[in-house]
Chains A and B, each alone.
Chain A
Amino acid sequence: EAQVTQNPRYLITVTGKKLTVTCSQNMNHEYMSWYRQDPGLGLRQIYYSMNVEVTDKGDVPEGYKVSRKEKRNFPLILESPSPNQTSLYFCASSPTGQSNQPQHFGDGTRLSIL
């Protein structure tokens, strides 16, 4: 089954403790992206990747890192999490990233930073 898989689905942690949210897709998509979703603000892009070893900042990249060493994986790293990073996070992929292609989203990771 074609899917985007995120782990963990839920995480409660404390300020400053480094964490990684993994994202994997099995559709051989070149384009992958991370979003955060907050009430009343909609989805905001954190980082995106056009292909292996190519990443670029989205609208809200501060406090986050990403890497794209393999086509299927695109982990999101919070080096020193802070409470304002408490949010619902989504990973998405599409064949090449062109806007006429739908993005396939994972089911989300709910992070709570205390």
Chain B
Amino acid sequence: KNQVEQSPQSLIILEGKNCTLQCNYTVSPFSNLRWYKQDTGRGPVSLTIMTFSENTKSNGRYTATLDADTKQSSLHITASQLSDSASYICVVSRTLNDYKLSFGAGTTVTVRA
């Protein structure tokens, strides 16, 4: 069973609207959680990383939250744009020197005009 579960699997939103993606993990111990954005036909690109002590971190219109007690993270996209159409992948690591990361299966976001 995957130790990182993402939901929903996919979603469609209208341009200008907001959306929130979920990531639940069972990985233990916990060091950090990273969100990647993967455009179609490209490799993933890091959006943000959160450590145990951080609750919220923003990168432009992307805001990630982390609740280490409930082992949940969310990625909120504000005022979506067509360029936000992509897959968003949640990645969890156990330790700083964890060279084997736990990847979620991703959420595919489609933004329509």
Contacts and interface: CB of A to CB of B under 8 A. Distances in A.
Interface of A: 4, 31, 33, 40-45, 48, 50, 56, 58-59, 90, 92, 97-100, 102-108
A105 B98 contact: no
Contacts of B96: 98-100
Interface residues of B, number: 26
Tell me what chain B mostly uses at the interface: helix, strand, loop, or mixed.
Answer: loop
A92 B46 CA distance: 12
A4 B97 CA distance: 22
Interface string B10-38: 00000000000000000000011010000
Contacts of B101: 45, 99
A32 B37 CA distance: 20
Given A43-B103, A59-B100, A99 B93 contact: yes
Contacts of B42: 107-108
A58 B46 contact: no
Contact of B41 (A42, A100, A102, A107): A107
Contact of B45 (A44, A48, A59, A105): A105
B95 interface: yes
B99 A105 contact: no
A100 B99 CA distance: 11
